[in-house]
Amino acid sequence: MKNHSGTDRRRFNGIGLLIGSLIGALLAIVWFAVSLQSETGPGRSDVTGFSDVESIAPWAVDGFDPTLARPDYSPVDVVRLQLASIRDSEKNPERLVVCYSLASPDNRRVTGPLNRFAKLFDDERYRPLLGHRSAMIGRAQIRDGVAAVMTTVIAGDGNAYAFHFLLSRHSPFEIGIGAESAVPGTTDERSPDEESEQCWMTNAVIPALQVDIESA
């Protein structure tokens, strides 16, 4: 009869390490969320916009503003601007133009025009982003031209929600939802293959995890 005790022990240890890693990741999110909440307090956030996006072109309210995307913005910069835009749009819907303008052309093709894009936040999976109290943005992990940025927000209900932002480089003037989305009087004469002229824009935002801080 073969002795399987060694194999069983290694298998048990492997399962234990996997469970331990998952628990550790969960506790890390809770710890970051709680510490951030205690530092910023309700109504404040470490997510702030940049001074040069405070003025939105009047025509952008009905479409998007390609001038908001800039080649010198990092993936984290884009996520920070989008989070601030979504947060502020709860009281000022026009602020959502910033988030929409930093979405990639493919993203806009899927979501449709701005008024349809705004309805995404009626979904309970994304509603916590509206008016969130505070947010923590992780470092960008870039591989094969795609940047992944994990974020955790403290929502108005006091719970922590994690979201996975995926970004890639695009021309900000690339038409996303049809000819009507082009900016009047503007053309993109730059080569879309020139990386120096490309801007990080968000392809997708994936809800990752919810943590009830009070019960945790």
Least confident interval from 11-20, 149-158, 203-212: 11-20
216 domain-assigned: no
176 domain-assigned: yes
DSSP 99-120: HHHTB-HHHHHHH-SHHHHHGG
Q: pLDDT tens digits for 18-55?
A: 444 444 444 344 434 434 433 333 333 344 444 444 44
166 domain-assigned: yes
1 domain-assigned: no
2 domain-assigned: no
Structural domain harbouring 91: 8-211
Kindly report the number of other CB atoms within 10 A of residue 193's CB atom.
Answer: 8
Q: Is 156 helix (H, G, I), strand (E, B) or coil?
A: coil
pLDDT given for residue 89 in this prediction: 93
- Tokens standing for residue 125: 């999976």
3 domain-assigned: no
pLDDT given for residue 30 in this prediction: 41
Could you give the CA distance from residue 151 to residue 135 in angstroms, rounded to a whole number? Answer: 7
- CA 22 to each of CA 16, 27, 195, 208: distance values in angstroms, whole numbers, following the listed order: 10, 9, 37, 13
Could you give the CA distance from residue 137 to residue 89 in angstroms, rounded to a whole number? Answer: 19
Q: pLDDT tens digits for 169-178?
A: 998 877 555 4
Q: Contacts from 136-143 at CB under 8 Å and sequence distance 24+?
A: 136/32, 136/33, 136/36, 136/46, 137/47, 137/76, 137/79, 137/80, 137/83, 139/76, 140/74, 140/75, 140/76, 140/167, 142/75
Q: pLDDT tens digits for 104-154?
A: 999 999 988 898 999 999 999 999 999 999 999 999 999 999 999 999 999
- For 112, phi and psi rounded to 5 degrees? 85, -170
pLDDT given for residue 196 in this prediction: 62
Total of domains in the chain: 1
Instruction: Give the distance, in angstroms, between the CA of residue 88 and the centroid of all CA atoms in the same chain.
Output: 15
